[in-house]
Amino acid sequence: MKVDVLLGLQWGDEGKGKLVDFITPNYDIIARFQGGANAGHTLIFDGKKYVLHLIPSGIFRNNCINIIGAGVVIDPIALVEEIKTLQEIGVDVKSKLKISKRAHLILPTHRILDKVSELDKGDAKIGSTLKGIGPTYMDKTGRNGIRIGDINNDLNSKYQSLKDKHYLIMDRHQKTLQELDYYSTVKEEEERWFDSIEFLKSFDFIDSEYYINKALKERKTVLAEGAQGSLLDVDYGTYPFVTSSSTTVSGVCSGLGVPPHAIGNVTGIFKAYTTRVGSGPFPTELDNEIGEKMRKIGSEFGATTGRPRRCGWLDLPALKYACMINGVTELNIMKLDILSEFDTIKVCVGYNVDGEFYKDTIPFDVSVPIEPIYVELKGWNKDISNCKVFEELPKEAKDYIAFIQLETNCPITRVSVGPDRLQTIMR
CA 21 from centre of chain: 14
CA distance 115 to 127: 10
Query: In which element (H, E) is residue 405 found?
Result: helix 395-408
Q: Is the pLDDT of residue 122 over 80?
A: no
pLDDT at 44: 76
Which residue would you say has higher pLDDT here, 368 or 49? 368
According to DSSP, the β-strands at 48-52 and 73-74 are unpaired
Best CA proximity match to 382, nearest among 365, 405, 398 = 398
Q: Is the pLDDT of residue 13 over 80?
A: yes
Q: Residue 95's pLDDT band (boundaries 50, 70, 90)?
A: very high
pLDDT at 213: 98
pLDDT at 304: 65
pLDDT at 126: 63
Best CA proximity match to 412, nearest among 395, 426, 392 = 426
- The answer to which of 100-104, 108-112, 117-121, 212-216 has the lowest mean pLDDT is 117-121
pLDDT at 9: 98
Q: Is the pLDDT of residue 365 over 80?
A: yes
For the segment 324-340, what is each residue's pLDDT rounded down to a tens digit? 999 999 999 999 999 99
Report which DSSP code applies to 204.
E
Q: Residue 116's pLDDT band (boundaries 50, 70, 90)?
A: confident
Overall average pLDDT of the 26-39 stretch: 92
pLDDT at 286: 97
pLDDT at 123: 62
In 133-229, where does DSSP find H-type helix?
133-141, 155-170, 174-180, 183-200, 208-217
Percent of the chain surpassing pLDDT 70? 95
8 A C-beta contact, residue 271 and residue 10 = yes
Overall average pLDDT of the 56-67 stretch: 92
Q: Please report, for residues 251, 267, 324, 363, the alpha-carbon distance to residue 230 in angstroms, rounded to integers and kept in the order given.
A: 10, 12, 11, 16
Q: How many CB atoms lie within 10 A of CB 406?
A: 9
Task: Strands of 75-217 (E only): list them.
Answer: 97-100, 104-105, 204-206
Catalytic sites, residue numbers: 13, 41
Overall average pLDDT of the 196-205 stretch: 97
Question: Tell me, what amino acid is at 98?
Answer: K
Overall average pLDDT of the 96-100 stretch: 98
According to DSSP, the β-strands at 29-32 and 344-353 are unpaired
Ordered strands of the 3-8 beta sheet? 204-206, 97-100, 65-68, 29-32, 222-225, 3-8, 263-271, 330-334, 412-416, 424-426
For the segment 349-359, what is each residue's pLDDT rounded down to a tens digit? 999 999 999 98
pLDDT at 179: 63
User: What mean pLDDT, rounded, does the chain reach?
Assistant: 92
According to DSSP, the β-strands at 412-416 and 330-334 are parallel
At 341 the three-state DSSP class reads helix
8 A C-beta contact, residue 401 and residue 415 = yes
Best CA proximity match to 228, nearest among 312, 322, 317, 140 = 322
Q: Residue 280's pLDDT band (boundaries 50, 70, 90)?
A: very high
Nearest 5°: the CA angle 132, 138, 140 is 100
pLDDT at 344: 97
pLDDT at 168: 85
For 172, phi then psi, to 5°, come to -75, -10
CA distance 270 to 235: 20
Q: Is the pLDDT of residue 127 over 80?
A: no
For the segment 150-179, what is each residue's pLDDT rounded down to a tens digit? 998 889 999 999 999 998 888 777 666 666
Q: Is the pLDDT of residue 129 over 70?
A: yes
Percent of the chain surpassing pLDDT 90? 76
8 A C-beta contact, residue 400 and residue 384 = no
Burial (CB < 10 A; 0-12, 13-18, 19+), residue 198, is exposed
Q: Is the pLDDT of residue 125 over 70?
A: no
Provide the angle, in degrees to the nearest 10, between the axes of the packed helices 183-200 and 76-88: 50
Q: Is the pLDDT of residue 183 over 70?
A: no
